[in-house]
Structure 1
Amino acid sequence: MESMARGGTRWKRFALVMVPSVAATAAIGVGLAQGALAASFAVSGQEFKVEAGHLEGYGFAQYGGLNEGYESTTSDKKVKRPVAISTFETATINDMCQSVVTDVPLFGKVTMKLTAGEGASEVKAKNLYLDISNLEADATFTNIDIGVAAKDTDVRRGGKGPEVKDRILPNSFAQQADKAVLTGAKQKAWATTAGTFTLGGLKMALHKGDGPDVECY
């Protein structure tokens, strides 16, 4: 668990490059039209892990979609990947962790780990989009509709289907609920966007290596 953020000039340069990217991930949708960015930017060639002890969200919808991004971190070739798009009008998260592993020349694998919402702090998001490839959690839904058409998920629940219609089949399977509560959530994702993303108690550190000892899980 020893942080490797200290040391020589190369580490400092690496940190200077990575810190702005953390800030961009945390607030990438601020000031943009609601939902516009979720459908427009090309994701990197890396998945990242997100863990949440407790997430309480309102205006929930989920449907399948496509995510366009780079084939890998070293390739300019773009590919489309299937994802499960989960959206929330508002969400509050406790004990959040995000980690991504990067191969750094001469150093090998380095894990960038971000935590927030620990103790009395909270993470709050509005118009939150999660492009997920894998999810494990205990979930409770209030007033859930299963099997609604993706294009109709905003009719009664505040979902965001029509706003990302260029990435989904409008009549495809979707589900929506007034409220969703996830506990012990572990997910892998290609992208997270939000209209606003407020992270209480934000901490970021770099660790040499990868695996559950330095990543979120």
Structure 2
Amino acid sequence: MLYRSGRTCWKRFATVLLPAVAAAAALGIGMAQGALAASFFISDQKFQLAADRLAGRGVSIYPVVDVTRSGTLVPVVVLGFNHADVKRLCVSAVIPIPVLGPYTLMLTSSDQQTVEASNLFIDTTSVRADQVNSRDIDLGVAAGAIRKGPINPGDRNSRFFDPNVFASQVNAAVLTNVRVISVASTAGTLSVPGFDLQIEQGSHQCF
């Protein structure tokens, strides 16, 4: 199945996230019990993730609510991959430093070699790609019934995970010129050839 799009739209997830947000507020969040979507408190900052090409096998897409250490609820869409190959990875975050001002922390990979990850989860608030090619996609599957792709164990055990909510799964997908705004990312294994981590004064993000 082929999508030709400049932007992947997550508007349909807004309606399914509202009940989860309302339930979380009614429960008073319960932060002392560590009820977290990704098994940890996320920071109050978002970061950028960019790649020339992202190829995934066993892909899941489902909504959940992450929680910051200060107790803020952050609705996200989780992209899960059993296995992912990434060309020209870039990850950047602007960090405000008292007195000195903003600094950008940037991680990049080799231009020639491929980053490989297993059990990769990216908690996103925005995803853009010039094109997405996918194979054997199921739209509207219940999140708790996803079988083709992974569910983060921390999400599955979270009070903010609804197993009956709208989700999707794909046997394989390839995204080109990917631009993601993320609040958290985890991986079971991650191999980054040409690993380069830099911090530079000012704002110099991936895109």
Using structure 2 for the length normalisation, give the TM-score: 0.78
Q: Per-residue CA shift, 1:92-151, capped at 9, x if unaligned?
A: 0001100000111221110011101412x1110000001000010021110000010000
In 2, are the aligned partners of 1:39 and 1:164 still within 8 Å (CA)?
Answer: yes
Give the aligned CA root-mean-square deviation in angstroms: 1.6
- Match of residue 190, structure 2, among 188, 193, 197: 197
Identity, in percent, stands at: 33
C-alpha distance in structure 1 between counterparts of 2:110 and 2:119, whole Å: 18
* Count of residue pairs the alignment pairs up: 169
| Cα distance change, pair 95–79 in 1 and its aligned pair in 2 (3 A) | same
1:146 alignment partner, SS class: strand
CA distance in 2, matches of 1:58, 1:163: 21
CA distance in 1, matches of 2:170, 2:65: 22
Please report how far the alpha carbon of residue 158 of structure 1 lies from its aligned counterpart in structure 2 after TM superposition.
Answer: 3.5
Q: Which residue of 1 aligns with 2:133?
A: 140
- Structure 2 counterpart of 1:103, one-letter code: P
Q: Using the TM superposition, give the Cα deviation of residue 202 of structure 1 relative to its aligned residue in structure 2, in angstroms.
A: 0.6
Distance 2:105 2:149 in 1: 34
SS at match of 1:78: coil
Counterpart-to-counterpart distance in 2, 1:92 and 1:102: 28
Equivalent position amino acid for 2:49 in 1:
V
The amino acid across from 2:174 in the alignment is V
1:47 aligns with 2:39: no
- Partner Cα separation in structure 2 for residue 127 and residue 89 of structure 1: 5
Whole-angstrom distance in 2 between the partners of 1:158 and 1:183: 20
How far apart are the structure 2 equivalents of 1:172 and 1:190? 21
In 2 relative to 1, CA 117–58 (structure 1 residues): closer, same or farther, beyond 3 Å? farther
Deviation at 1:161, TM superposition (A): 6.6
Letter in structure 2 aligned against 1:160:
I
Partner of 1:16: none
| CA shift digits 1:52-75 (9 cap, x unpaired) | 1101000001011011113xxxxx
Q: Does the Cα contact within 8 Å between 1:38 and 1:129 map onto a contact in 2? A: no
Of 173, 178, 182 in structure 1, the residue corresponding to residue 171 of structure 2 is 178
Q: Note the 1:19-98 alignment, pairs <5 A.
A: 39-70=38-69, 77-98=70-91
Q: Distance in 2 between matches of 1:123 and 1:161?
A: 21
Q: Which residue number corresponds to residue 33 of structure 1?
A: none
Q: Does 1:216 align with 2:194?
A: no
Quote the Cα distance in structure 2 between the aligned partners of 1:101 and 1:164: 27
- The counterpart of 2:114, out of the listed 110, 122, 129, is 122
Looking at structure 1, the residues matched to 171 and 110 of structure 2 have their Cα atoms a distance apart, in angstroms, of 23
